Amino acid sequence: MRRDPAIAPVEPEAATSRAQAIDEVAAYLVESGVAPDLAQDDARALLRAAAGLTRLDLAMSPQAPLSEEEADKLSHYAARRAAREPVSRILGERGFWTLDLVVAPNVLDPRADTETLVETALSLVDARDAPLEILDLGCGSGAIVCALLSEWPRARAVAVDLSPHACAATAGNLMRCGVADRARVVRGRWGESLAGRYDVIVSNPPYVRAGDIPALDPEVRLYDPALALDGGPDGLDCYRTIVADLPRLLKSDGIVAFEVGSDQAVGVAALLGDKGFGVVKVGRDAGGHERVVAARPAAARS
């Protein structure tokens, strides 16, 4: 299998094996700026998709030759990845929590770090079968609300997003995960159009400082919507809006959990404290960063 970066990363040749194709695509991706520790995994994922293989299929037959059709499809996928399009967007799906979610254009691609928000919320509710009312503000793909509903079988949820693309993506993923009958999707700005009160409020709002956006990795800057990234000059604008409305939306014994930027936990905790909420848990992601701030009304903690 030859590789001509000016045209395509791979071209079919006789006896090109799956293993050889992976190595050549990985090398091409590294030359294109993809981190070496990601390139091999990305190449494997793209080959499995191009050839319709499971992980076991590939492990059992790494020397099997690629067909011309498989090689052409792999070349197409690799060229897109070399342009720094995330693998999840190329393949149109992403594993999150225990679920397989559709990744839609113009909608934030859910990250593994956000699983920390799900884990933290679950840890603060003792009874998994409680009839909870959940509110997800800025639902994006629906990853968080789908995960929580999958773990709390008697819970019901309202998922809100300003983006019509996000609302459609959330509705689709709720259906895909088999929990759509327990959820309602609302297009709106945070909780402005809502009148009820909730046991659990979760949110992964935009929190990137506006001035930091041009320096983001291309996978984020070029492919995630700005609406889902821009948190204003200090990254905290959306938290201010949401926290100001929490006394109206959260039940007196409820919990709220926010995903935050790696250096924002203290700032978000201060905003919560100013509105009478006390932090009950700070969740750390796999890299050890403070990624989630969870709080209750101060009266509920006494």
pTM for this one? 0.89
Same domain, 62 and 135: no
Flag whether 90 is in a domain. no
Q: Containing H/E element for 80?
A: helix 68-82
Torsion from C-alpha of 244, 245, 250, 256, nearest 10 degrees: -50
Question: What average pLDDT does range 223-247 have in this prediction?
Answer: 96
pLDDT for 31 beyond 50: yes
Same domain, 291 and 156: yes
Same domain, 79 and 133: no
Same domain, 212 and 279: yes
Q: What is the pLDDT of residues 111-151, one digit of tens each?
A: 999 999 999 999 999 999 999 999 999 999 999 999 999 99
Confidence of residue 63 (pLDDT cuts 50, 70, 90): very high
Same domain, 294 and 180: yes
Confidence of residue 6 (pLDDT cuts 50, 70, 90): very low
Question: What average pLDDT does range 96-116 have in this prediction?
Answer: 95
Range of the domain at 22: 2-83
| Residue 134 · residue 194 · CB < 8 Å | no
Same domain, 246 and 218: yes
Q: Could you give the angle at which helices 36-51 and 68-82 cross, rounded to 10 degrees?
A: 140
Residues ≥6 apart with Cβ < 8 Å to 125 = 132, 152, 200, 255
Nearest to 103 by CA among 91, 115, 90, 93: 93
| Residue 258 · residue 235 · CB < 8 Å | no
What was the pLDDT predicted at 21?
Answer: 95
Question: What are residue 44's phi and psi, to 5 degrees?
Answer: -65, -45
| Residue 96 · residue 106 · CB < 8 Å | no
Mean pLDDT of the chain: 93
Distance CA 232, CA 229 (A): 9
Cα 235 to chain centroid distance, Å, stands at 18
Flag whether 88 is in a domain. no
Same domain, 208 and 116: yes
Same domain, 211 and 246: yes
Same domain, 138 and 276: yes
Question: What average pLDDT does range 38-55 have in this prediction?
Answer: 96
What was the pLDDT predicted at 299?
Answer: 72
The number of domains in the chain is 2
What stretches of 27-122 adopt beta strand conformation (E)? 93-96, 99-102
Cα–Cα distances (Å) from 49 to 22, 26, 109, in that order, read 12, 15, 19
Structure-token pair, residue 155: 């819970």
pLDDT for 8 beyond 80: no
Q: Which residue has the higher pLDDT, 191 or 302?
A: 191
Structure-token pair, residue 32: 């294109």
pLDDT for 158 beyond 60: yes
Confidence of residue 16 (pLDDT cuts 50, 70, 90): confident
Residues ≥6 apart with Cβ < 8 Å to 37 = none
| Residue 48 · residue 40 · CB < 8 Å | no
Residues ≥6 apart with Cβ < 8 Å to 155 = 130, 131, 132, 133, 134, 148, 149, 182, 200
| Residue 138 · residue 203 · CB < 8 Å | yes
Distance CA 170, CA 50 (A): 27
CATH of the domain at 101: 3.40.50.150
Same domain, 220 and 126: yes
